[in-house]
Amino acid sequence: MVNILNNAPRTKIIAILSIFTALYAVLRIIPSVPMIGTSGATFSLSDIIAPLYGIILGPYTGGLSVIIGSFIAMFGKPPVFLGLDFLPATVAAVSTGLLIKKKWTYVIALNVILLAAFLIYPLTSVLIDIQIDSTTISLPFAWLHIVALAVLISPLGRKAAKWVITNDTARIATGIAILAFIATMMQHLMGNLLFETVMAQPIGTIPVDAYPGIWTSIFLVYPIERLALVALATIVGTPLVRILKNTFLTTEQ
């Protein structure tokens, strides 16, 4: 396992946790692209690095760093989901951390639960009607989430964790891309559930009857958005993991 905290003294753990927490808080304040369906909300740069926190820090320290960093960032950026904004990124960090620790069954179970909860939620549009010329085709909204779950269950989900700890740059990049893809899609499911639960009236400001149109508009956008986050996580994560491994990271098989 790639872990900078393996057998580390308490002072080192606190120092590293503080550094990564501060970095996450700063990146969470910096906006990137607008969040479709939520007026005034944007994605932050921290969405790129959330999966990397699990790979580098492990599931528990990585998840804790994301949680603390999210609450710190709320002082500079008002919460969107009633203070539950930390949940999607925490799911991403914990998931990659568990995969690196070879605890695949836990991640599979969490992924299945999130996907099932999203599909049975009353405000979810399970099928999206796409008009092609004069023909209407119904496609599953969660098709890319199903692909991510299939990748997780397949041998790729296990091989990716092994590739990350090698010294081969191509394998590290491939491993990070696969892990980030799985985690980012799980992060999206958690975010969607919060979007439906918190933002819908009477709790939130979005009329219930507006959701079918929102899901239709997001259907063509979210795959590009998610794959872009995966690509950026791979670009950032590959040299970062190599540099840390060559300095003070330890590896655990």
Q: What is the pLDDT tens value at each position of the chain, 253 positions in all?
A: 455 555 566 777 788 888 999 999 999 888 766 665 555 566 788 989 999 999 999 999 999 999 999 999 988 677 888 889 999 999 999 999 999 999 999 999 999 999 999 999 999 999 999 888 788 899 999 999 999 999 999 999 999 999 998 889 999 999 999 999 999 999 999 999 999 999 999 888 899 999 999 999 999 989 998 999 999 999 999 999 888 776 654 444 4
* pLDDT the model gives residue 14: 80
Between strands 31-34 and 127-132, the pairing is unpaired
Q: By C-alpha distance, which of 78, 58, 76, 66 is closest to 164?
A: 58
Dihedral angle of Cα 66, 71, 76, 79, to the nearest 10 degrees: 100
Contact 42, 58 (CB under 8 A): no
Matching residue, tokens 């919460």: 79
Distance CA 235, CA 48 (A): 10
With tokens 């590739």, the residue in question is 163
Yes or no: say if 34 and 22 are a contact pair by the CB < 8 Å rule.
Answer: no
pTM for the whole structure: 0.90
